Amino acid sequence: MAATPHTDYSTEFSGRTALVTGAASGIGLATARRLGAGGANVVIADHNPEGAEKAVAALKGTGIEAAAVQVDVTRPESVEAAVRSSVDMFGALHLAVNNAGVSGEIAPTGEYDIDVYNRVMRTNLDGVFHSMRYELPAIEAAGAGGAIVNVSSIMGSVAAAGSSAYVAAKHGVVGLTKAAAAEYAPKGIRINAVGPGFIETPLLGEMDPAAHAALAGLHPAGRLGRAEEVAEMIVFLLSERASFVYGSYHLVDGAYTAL
């Protein structure tokens, strides 16, 4: 029998622990904040330990139970240690958001730097595999279902010239999500992906105003997205409100891919 969805969003994750990678800033931090506001214990996992600790302090200042772990998602042993620490700190792992990623360079495929290509793939695709490899056994061991959301991109369904590594990795995340979802659906563990469009960040805020406006204009909504808007989709997919949503890929892109 399907679980009854919560209507009180301030308690829907009470008693649950969520691990979020790349959570020191941006979409990861917005997601961690929203999960914590829903009652979850939140583990901020990031390659930058100072940034992770700063994020934890900010969350704790609003009453959210949070802890920081350093992680390098390109290294399986680092991810394994982060998952183990999450379980040790809070007793179990129930939810995960695999958000850590890098952008790479802009260059034609025939000229793309091989070392940069490998770094993008190791972080954006291998990192998601490494994360699920250790998250899934921990979530299964908790014995209460659970859910994972992998952060892909609009580039998981379309392409951008000069971004072959990023596009390949993000398409791969969608395929990996679907394969894992089919495997773990019988165990009640839901795995889905999201595809953000271009999101407002401090870096984009420093763009030339004309370039910023042109980028926003690629979205029929007429603007860039906000990290909090992506976080809402992620949190929905982690919640029991999405109890029959398995192996899907949800775009949060202001209609960027609709054209």
Predicted confidence at residue 29, as pLDDT, reads 97
pLDDT in tens, 194-207: 999 999 987 677 78
Asked if residues 138 and 93 have their Cβ atoms less than 8 Å apart, the reply is: yes
Active site residue 166: yes
- pLDDT band per the 50, 70, 90 thresholds, residue 7: low
Task: Give the domain extent around 66.
Answer: 17-253
Q: Is the pLDDT of residue 30 over 80?
A: yes
In a domain, 10, yes or no: no
Q: Say which residue the tokens 């979850």 belong to.
A: 40
Given 112, 134, 166, 256, which residue is catalytic?
166
Could you count the other beta carbons within 10 Å of the beta carbon of residue 178?
A: 17
| pLDDT one-digit tens code per residue, 51-80 | 999 999 999 999 999 999 999 999 999 999
Strands (E), the chain: 17-21, 41-46, 66-70, 95-98, 147-151, 190-196, 249-252
CATH code, 91: 3.40.50.720
Res 144: pLDDT: 84
Residue 5, pLDDT score = 54
Within a domain: residue 185? yes
**Residue type at 111?**
E
**Mean per-residue pLDDT for 5-31?**
90
Residue 104 lies in a domain: yes
Q: Is the pLDDT of residue 2 over 70?
A: no
Asked if residue 1 is part of any domain, the answer here is: no
Judge whether 154 lies within some domain: yes
Answer yes or no: is 193 within a domain. Answer: yes
Q: Is the predicted pLDDT of residue 31 greater than 80, yes or no? A: yes
Percent of all residues in the chain with a pLDDT value above 90, rounded to a whole number: 92
What is the pTM for the complete model shown? 0.95
Residues of the chain with pLDDT > 70, as a percent, come to: 97
Domain-located, residue 228: yes
What is the Cα–Cα distance from 50 to 108, expressed in whole angstroms?
Answer: 35
**Is the CB of residue 250 less than 8 Å from the CB of residue 197?**
no
Sign of dihedral through CA atoms 104, 71, 18, 10? Answer: negative
Per-residue pLDDT tens digits for 224-238: 999 999 999 999 999
Is residue 12, in this structure, part of any structural domain at all? no
Which residue's structure tokens are 């398409």? 171
pLDDT band at 1 (very low <50, low <70, confident <90, very high): very low
When divided into structural domains, the chain yields a total of 1
